[in-house]
């Protein structure tokens, strides 16, 4: 019978194994690696956005993100001169301040597709970062390479929806108990 003979065993760092066990382990490892590849393929989609039309009269532009998504972008606006964003990282509160005019310079929106993106025309292509739909975000890839036409590769990721913080808050009669105060914040960052 094969596998029972001492000569049919395969030596390893953790003892000896029968050829059947080695084959089973190889198959399990193969499927584990395959599943990681499939999961990775679903998390990001590589696209090459192309500027189809740039309108100087209204500052708008039309960008083909991929075959199924073309954005008709117009200039967006930020309501505030300075934008304050409160975040929590590793249990520490952090306040970031953004200059509204700096954001507005490259901010575009497509009301129909519910998209809001920062767009920079590089001459060779467009760099986009932001929301291309309520369920997907886009960002340029970290790769310095471009495609043959000079188009910059981007990744589209599905947005993970988590429960909102406001669902976890309980009612308090004194609103000042809930609001983080500047003096309690550990870091203040101007961006």
Q: Is 1 within the bounds of a domain?
A: no
Say whether both 116 and 173 belong to one domain.
yes
Bridge partners for 158 per DSSP: 136
Average pLDDT over residues 66-87: 90
> What size, in residues, is the chain?
191
> Which H or E run includes 27?
helix 19-43
Higher confidence at residue 147 or residue 131?
A: 131
Owning domain of residue 12 = 6-44
Mark whether 27 and 86 lie in a shared domain. Answer: no
Hey, which residues does 84 pair with through a beta bridge? 97
Q: Which has more pLDDT, 45 or 36?
A: 45
Number of domains making up the chain: 2
40 and 61 co-located in one domain: no
Residues 154, 63 share a domain = yes
Is residue 29 a part of any domain in this protein? yes
User: Do 40 and 78 sit in the same domain of this protein?
Assistant: no
Same domain, 128 and 175: yes
Q: What is the pLDDT confidence band of residue 17, given thresholds at 50, 70 and 90? A: low
């Amino acid at each position: 019978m094969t596998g029972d003979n001492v000569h049919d065993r395969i030596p390893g760092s953790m003892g000896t194994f029968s050829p059947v066990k080695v084959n089973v382990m190889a198959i399990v490892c193969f499927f584990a690696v395959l599943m990681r590849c499939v999961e990775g393929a679903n998390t990001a989609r590589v696209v090459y956005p192309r500027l189809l039309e740039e309108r100087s009269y209204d500052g708008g532009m039309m960008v083909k993100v991929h075959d199924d998504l073309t954005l008709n972008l117009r200039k967006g606006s930020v309501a505030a001169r300075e934008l304050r964003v409160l975040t929590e990282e590793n249990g520490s509160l952090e306040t970031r301040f953004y200059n509204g005019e700096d954001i507005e310079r490259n901010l575009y929106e497509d009301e129909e597709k519910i998209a809001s993106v920062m767009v920079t025309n590089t001459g060779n292509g467009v760099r986009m970062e932001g929301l291309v739909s309520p369920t997907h975000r886009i960002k340029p890839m970290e790769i310095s390479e471009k495609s043959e036409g000079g188009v910059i590769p981007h990744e589209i990721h599905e947005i993970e929806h988590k429960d909102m913080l406001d669902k976890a808050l309980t009612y308090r009669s004194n609103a000042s108990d809930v609001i983080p105060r500047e003096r309690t914040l550990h870091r203040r960052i101007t961006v």
